[in-house]
Amino acid sequence: MNNNSQYIDIKKETMTKLIEAYLSDNFPENTRLIPYDMRPVGSEIPYRCCIYKERAILKNRIIADLGFPLEEDDERISLSTYAKGAQDREEISGKNLTVVQQACKGCVPNTIYVTDLCKGCVARPCEKTCKFGAIEVKDGHSKIDNEKCKKCGMCIKACPYHAIVKLTVPCEEACPVGAMKKDETGLAKIDFDKCISCGKCISACPFGAVHEKSQIIDILKAMKQGKKVVAMIAPAILGQFRGNLYQMKSAILKAGFFDVYEVAQGADITTANEAKEFIERMEAGKKFMTTSCCAGYIQLVKKHLNEIKPFVSDTKTPLYYTAEIIKKQMPDAVTVFVGPCVAKRAEGFENENVDYVMSFEELGALFVAKKIEVSEMDETQYEKESSKQARNFGVSGGVAGAVKKALQNEDAVKPLVINGLNKDSIKQLKQYATCGTCEEGCNLIEVMCCEGGCIAGNATINNTKVAQKKIKEGIQTSSDIEKI
């Protein structure tokens, strides 16, 4: 979840107004007016130097909401032209993220800095701790030679006055694979060859400069054309909105979808297949297997951690199986995955059975635009009920717990949960791959890109603790998964 509540409010407002514009009689013109409606003449200027800067940034956010990359923006092109382009296009591009450079603050580079709290200690703990000779005390004050400094942070730990601090660039610091960097102007830029679509940069940036490219207009257009638009809702959705899972189906149907499937239905298939695969690998003498459900982790394996690929489960994701079921039942259906993170957009592009991806934030905006309150809806049953364990897939530990529960001999599974991808956990996985064994004696490693699981994805609505509690309460009446 993005912790910047003000930024979330702006995103929700712009997306809601864009949906309202699409539902109006004049989509292009009403889209053009959104920045002016949000920041009219004489209104308060809450964030920027002037109302014109505010409007320019809002325009860029809407361009991204319309599904276009800002890297290719020509400021002379009006929002109405972009709206027409979104309305007329037949396909969407494959890059999931874009940068609102006008919103980027151009943060100073990561550096270790000695503040005025330094007392010039006689003991010289910072100087003695540094292995690179980057620190010396001059005129009663510690000085750091940035050319020698390796930014290891040992001096920070050594200082008894906490006088040494690390200045970080939030998006760069959050990115576990070094995909965030600065361009020649000092503003944020994404290296898509490295990017794993984890969405951590979105959550980390306090200015909301990193933005997802939305597919909402394409989805609404398919609805308007009378197509069978089917929502595939991720298990994590249970923790996001007021109301239960069956009220959620009613709300989504009222929003214009033809039908609603739980991706937990596919999670039951994933669990059964992964449990069988686990048994086969252990019988073949393999030391461990990792799960394959997290789209961010799979992108990491493809781009940065190829050595662990032999240990990754070959089982498909819950989304894969759910989309496959729908396309077999309704070949003409337009499938829309509704999920918690930008990584699933990457998976959607790679799966021909997934037509579009919508985030929980976008679904929430759709509810607001259509004045739908989930908790006030009647309940609608699903065609097939999912297990308690499948509905818990979005919580860290849920996937490994489901595989364990599915086996006749539950003690055969010794799980280890990688609760969030970062530089340290990636190094840990690399070590396991190199050694061919898991030091903790585990044999099933569940990898979740977000700390807490899918309920902590960049496009979730509730905080992790609230979401986890709601899911725990919501799955109590569900049945346990069948043993294999």
Tell me the three state secondary structure of residue 392: helix
Who's near 267: CB < 8 A, 6+ residues apart? Answer: 235, 293, 318, 386, 387, 389, 390, 391, 393, 402
Determine how β-strand 334-339 pairs with β-strand 356-359: parallel
Tokens of 394: 């979005």
How far apart, in whole angstroms, are the C-alpha atoms of residue 312 and residue 161? 46
CB 419 within 8 A of CB 448: yes
Angle among Cα 129, 132, 137 to the nearest 5 degrees reads 60
Closest to 303 measured CA to CA, from 421, 451, 409, 474: 421
pLDDT tens string, the chain, 484 residues long: the values are 555 567 788 899 999 999 999 999 999 999 999 999 999 988 887 777 899 999 999 999 999 999 999 998 888 999 999 999 999 998 887 789 999 999 998 888 888 989 999 999 999 999 999 999 999 998 889 999 989 999 899 999 999 999 999 988 999 999 999 999 999 899 999 999 999 999 999 999 999 999 999 999 999 999 999 999 999 999 999 999 999 999 999 999 999 999 999 999 999 999 999 999 999 999 999 999 999 999 999 999 999 999 999 999 999 999 999 999 999 999 999 999 999 999 999 999 999 999 999 999 999 999 999 999 999 999 999 999 999 999 999 999 999 999 999 999 999 999 999 999 999 999 999 999 999 999 778 999 999 999 999 999 999 999 999 999 999 999 999 999 999 8
Tokens of 378: 């009647």
CB 178 within 8 A of CB 194: yes
CB 265 within 8 A of CB 390: yes
Tell me the three state secondary structure of residue 116: coil
Tokens of 35: 């920045």
Tokens of 215: 């597919």
Please, how many CA atoms are within 13 Å of residue 89, restricted to the half-sphere of its CB?
A: 18
Rg of the chain in Å (alpha carbons): 24
pTM: predicted TM-score of the whole model, two decimal places = 0.93
CB 327 within 8 A of CB 259: no
**Block residue for tokens 């003409």:** 332
34 burial (CB, 10 Å; 0-12 / 13-18 / 19+) is buried
How far apart, in whole angstroms, are the C-alpha atoms of residue 374 and residue 105? 38
How far apart, in whole angstroms, are the C-alpha atoms of residue 344 and residue 338? 9
DSSP-assigned beta bridge partners for residue 153: none
CB 188 within 8 A of CB 99: yes
Q: What own/partner pairs with CB < 8 Å and gap ≥ 24 does 124-132 have?
A: 125/158, 125/159, 125/160, 126/155, 126/158, 126/159, 126/164, 128/158, 129/154, 129/155, 129/157, 129/158, 130/154, 130/155
